[in-house]
Chain A
Amino acid sequence: MPSIPSVAQLLAAALLPEAEKKRLERLLYSDAGHGYDPFGLHPDYVAFGEVLTAPLYDRYFRVKSKGHEHIPKKGAAVLAANHSGAVPVDGMMIWTDVLRNTEPPRVARAVADHFVPMIPMIGTLFARGGMVGGSRGNARTLLENGELLMIFPEGVPGIAKHFKDRYRLQDWRVGHVELAIRHGAPVVPVGVVGAEEQMPQIGRIPIQVAGLPFIPITLTPLPLPVRYHILYGPPIPVHEEYRPDHADDPSAVREAAARVKAAVQALVDQGLSERTGIFS
């Protein structure tokens, strides 16, 4: 009886370059006994995920990225990025970028909004690639296990913002910094440029379908082939600057979160100033 992991394995084996397959064999993850980690991540699916995202990453969005040296090679860390684009392609591109540019390869464990695990197929597929639902307990466990979290502090309001608000960071939640301080992890700011123009959003239909909180009204039915720029900034060592009990100090947490927000905004501004056009 063919198994789903075998299908993923077959596709990954057929479509991934040999060198990349060898590299992904060194993927670090915590096997709970049957090849899956407790959250559902499976290395075959990570490889399969790279197969799926590679055409988008290489050919469609032609991702340019820099600052990979700032991603810790091991240990707990939080990637905090701006969020935009009506559909979460930015998360997929960061996920692929981190996977390709870390050695040994690391999976950026996306912390998604609560509704994502409710979406049929997508929730399961993303979980196999390392996504977890956005509960504090999930994030805590991953950090305690020394994993790399990918958090979008703007949340759904970031991805759902109107086109006229592009590249203006929305309300910046503080949970990522609180987690980092409490669990001794640095925060790596990440600026994403390009996603804002991929699918200009001009409105939303406030009905919930298949777990989605609303249906976006966009100028294009599919994302445009904009060029993505991903910039990683130097880690902000909140774990060294604050004691773990500062995680319960609202003013300390707000202050640290404001620094992360400013760092992300600076990376976004840098990316905007360096790019020569939306598609180039």
Chain B
Amino acid sequence: MRGPDTTPFIKGVLVTGTDAPVGELLVRALLNDPNIGHVLAVGVRRPEEALPISHATRLTYLQVNLTRERQVHDLLFGPARDLGVEVVVHTAMARSAMAEGGGVHALNVDATRALLQLCERHPTIKRFVLKSYAEVYAVQHDLPVLIAEDHPLNLHPNAPQYVRDRVEADLHACVRMGLSPLQIVVLRCAESLAPGTGSQLFDYLESPVCLRPAGYDPMINVASLRDIVRALECAVRAPQQGVFNVPGFDTLPLALAIRKWGRLGLALPSSWLTPLYRWRRRLRGHDFRYGMNRRRFHYSGVLDGRRARDVLGYLPERPVDWPAP
């Protein structure tokens, strides 16, 4: 099944989180790559409900609860070993900012830790790719606008679990680099403006009227799902391990993003926004938490993707599908 080009053949890739759009699109992209032998997709849905993809010969879908270490062990040392999986791409993480508690932490952090530990002693797995998030970075008035990989992380004591878990999982993967026999690649991805991705900004833009702090219009960077998936594809074949920022194509002020999404932006005093959005959350069941986004709604923060460009060959190419011109 080796392709005509010189791209190295990868016998098998295991993808977690295939119930979410990123995981599903990644599976589709990997199946389109003739230099990938088999894709082992993992999700929480039952097989008959998951991944409507007709590549049965090269795709195996398994329902696995990643918070159960025994299930993870049996996945890796069962089907993954039998298929000769060489790369694990871990994208599974709780997507709602409202999801809190031990069960959420078990998926976000403990599952990442367990996967890494098991992969380290696995006979065929050589590379571990973690899809991390730009939300791990701190955004403040006294920090650089362009966020490089050595930018301070958001370790604010009042940060919600959504952020704390992402930072912890990211850091855990980072500290294993060099200590682990695996090649570990951490991709800190820009927020993708798409449903089902857990994007706070997407949920924010769901309102016909988007409130923002008066007097501030920070620069933000957002990515299309296609670009995030392409970055993950690049990471599957990464020439070296490391942490890489994955910026999106669109860098623009928040007010312009609101306008291009076809919404009406309304600037109000910042202190009004937390209670107003709390009420919105309670009344309408939305996921957006203003308190969690307060700083980046005041101060600019744009991912610097030079490392990903130079090492992985990733450059954002596809803009977000903005509804308004």
A-contacting 9-mer, from B30-38, B119-127, B138-146: B138-146
* Contact, CB under 8 Å: B217 / A138: no
Q: Given A36-B219, A120-B215, A121-B215, are A133 and B253 neighbors across the interface (CB < 8 Å)?
A: no
**Closest chain A CB from B72 CB (angstroms):** 39
Chain B interface size band reads 20 to 34
* Contact, CB under 8 Å: A141 / B146: yes
* Contact, CB under 8 Å: B259 / A3: yes
**Closest chain A CB from B77 CB (angstroms):** 44
Q: Which of A4, A5, A39, A119 contacts B300 (CB 8 A)?
A: A39
**Closest chain A CB from B208 CB (angstroms):** 13
* Contact, CB under 8 Å: A127 / B143: no
* Contact, CB under 8 Å: A141 / B300: no
Per-position contact with B for A118-152: 1 when CB-CB < 8 Å, else 0? Answer: 11110110010000111111101100000000000
* Contact, CB under 8 Å: B143 / A137: yes
B residues near A4, Cβ cutoff 8 Å? 217, 255
* Contact, CB under 8 Å: B255 / A115: no
A-contacting 9-mer, from B49-57, B169-177, B194-202, B244-252: B244-252
B106 close to A (CB within 8 Å): no
In the complex formed, the residue of B with least CB distance to A1 is B259
* Contact, CB under 8 Å: A33 / B219: no
Q: Which of A34, A114, A115, A127 contacts B252 (CB 8 A)?
A: A34
* Contact, CB under 8 Å: B256 / A124: no
B214 close to A (CB within 8 Å): yes
* Contact, CB under 8 Å: B142 / A36: no
* Contact, CB under 8 Å: A135 / B144: yes
* Contact, CB under 8 Å: B252 / A36: yes
| Contacts of B249-267 to chain A: CB distance below 8 A | 249-253, 255-256, 259, 264
Q: Which residues of A line the B interface, CB within 8 A? A: 1, 3-5, 32-34, 36, 38-40, 114-115, 117-121, 123-124, 127, 132-138, 140-141, 211
| 6 cross-chain pairs, A with B, having the tightest CB-CB distances, nearest first | A120-B215, A137-B144, A32-B251, A34-B252, A114-B142, A121-B215
